[in-house]
Amino acid sequence: MKPNVLAKKIVFFVGIVLVWQIVDMANVWPDKIFPSPLEVGENLWYGASDGTLFYGIGTSLWRLAIGLAIAIAGGIILGVFMARVETVNQTIGSIALGLQSIPSVAWSPLAIVWFGLTDAGIIFVTIAGAIFSVTINTYTGVKNINPDYIAAAQNMGAKGGQLITKVLIPAAFPYMISGFKQGWAFAWRGVIGAELLFSFLGLGFLLNVGRQLSDVSQVIAMMLVIMIIGIVIDGLIFKKLEDKVMSRWGLR
C-alpha cells in the first residue's frame, strides 16, 4: 500500500473513533445504549483474555470453511452441467436464479426443522446461501468460453472428465472467481445469521448474547469482529486469487 493511501486510512479510522468518543462524551444517549469506543475495546479485551472470543471466531470460521467448500464444489459441478447439458439447464437452471435470490438466513427455519439446532443445520444454511452464486457464475463462465478452446481440446483428444477438468473449469475460472467472491460473502452472512437464530456458539451467538444481556458494547464489538474477518478473508484469499488469475491471463 502506498504511504499516502495508508495515511488517509489511518486518519479516517482515527477520525471515526474520535467522533464516536466526542458523541459519547456529549451524553446524548445513556452509556447503556451508546457505549464508548473504550468500552467496546474493553469487551474485546475480556473476550480475548478468557478465550471466548477466539472460540467464537474459530467456530464460525470452521462452519464457514466447511459450508463454503461444499458450496464451491457443488456449485462448480452444477454450473458445468447446466452449461453443457441442455436438460439440466432447462430444469435446474430455470430455478437457480430464483434460489439465489433467497437470503441465506431465510433457509434457517427449514434447517432447524431438518437438522435441529446443530452444526449441520448452520452449515446447511451456509451452503444454501452460497451455492447458487457459484453455480450461476460457473454457468456464465463455461457459456462464455471461446469455442475454439473447446474445439482445439477435443481435436487433441480431450473428452468427458478430462475436458471438464483440464479445459472447461480453467477456461471459466475468471468468471468463477466472481462466483466465489459473491458466494463467500453470502456464506459469511449465512453463518452469522444462522448462529443468531440457532443461538448455538459462534460469533452470531455472541452477538445475540450481547443483546440478551443488554450489553451493547458486546454487540458492537462482535459486529466489528465480523466486519474485520470479512475484510481479511476478502483481501487475503479472494483478492489475491483474483489478481493471480487475472495477471496470468494478461487481463490486467
Partner 1 sequence: MAKLEAKNIVKYFDHDGQQLKALGGINLTVEQGDFICLVGPSGCGKSTFLRIIAGLQTPEEGQILLDNRPILNTGPDRILVFQEGALFPWLKVRDNVEFGLKIAGIPESERHEISQRYLDMMDLTKFANSYTYQLSTGMRQRVAIARALVMDPEVLLMDEPFAALDAQTRDTLLVEMQMIWQKTKKTIIFVTHSVSEATVLGNKVAVFTHRPSTIKKIVNIENKRPRLSEDETLIKYQQEILAELRPEVKSKGDEQ
Q: Which of 16, 23, 48, 152 is the binder for partner 1 (CB under 8 A)?
A: 152
Torsions phi, psi of 34, nearest 5?
Answer: -135, 85
Q: Which of 139, 114, 128, 226 is nearest to 186 (CA)?
A: 128
Q: Which of 131, 140, 201, 130 is nearest to 175 (CA)?
A: 140
Torsions phi, psi of 209, nearest 5?
Answer: -60, -45
Using rule CB under 8 A, residue 153 touches partner 1: yes
Q: Which stretch binds partner 1 (CB under 8 A): 104-112, 125-133, 166-174, 230-238?
A: 166-174
Nearer to partner 1, 16 or 151 (CB): 151
Shortest separation between residue 178's beta carbon and partner 1, angstroms = 16
Using rule CB under 8 A, residue 250 touches partner 1: yes
Q: Which of 77, 106, 117, 158 is the binder for partner 1 (CB under 8 A)?
A: 158
Q: Which of 154, 213, 235, 237 is the binder for partner 1 (CB under 8 A)?
A: 154
Which positions ≥6 away from 37 have C-beta within 8 Å? Answer: 17, 20, 21, 24
DSSP assignment, residue 117? S
**In the structure grid, which three cell numbers stand for residue 238, read together?**
479472494
Using rule CB under 8 A, residue 29 touches partner 1: no
Cα-based distances in Å from 150 to 86, 137, 202, 223: 17, 19, 45, 46
Q: Which of 12, 146, 212, 231 is the binder for partner 1 (CB under 8 A)?
A: 146
Binding site for partner 1 (CB under 8 A): 146, 148-149, 151-158, 162, 166-167, 170-171, 173, 245, 248-250
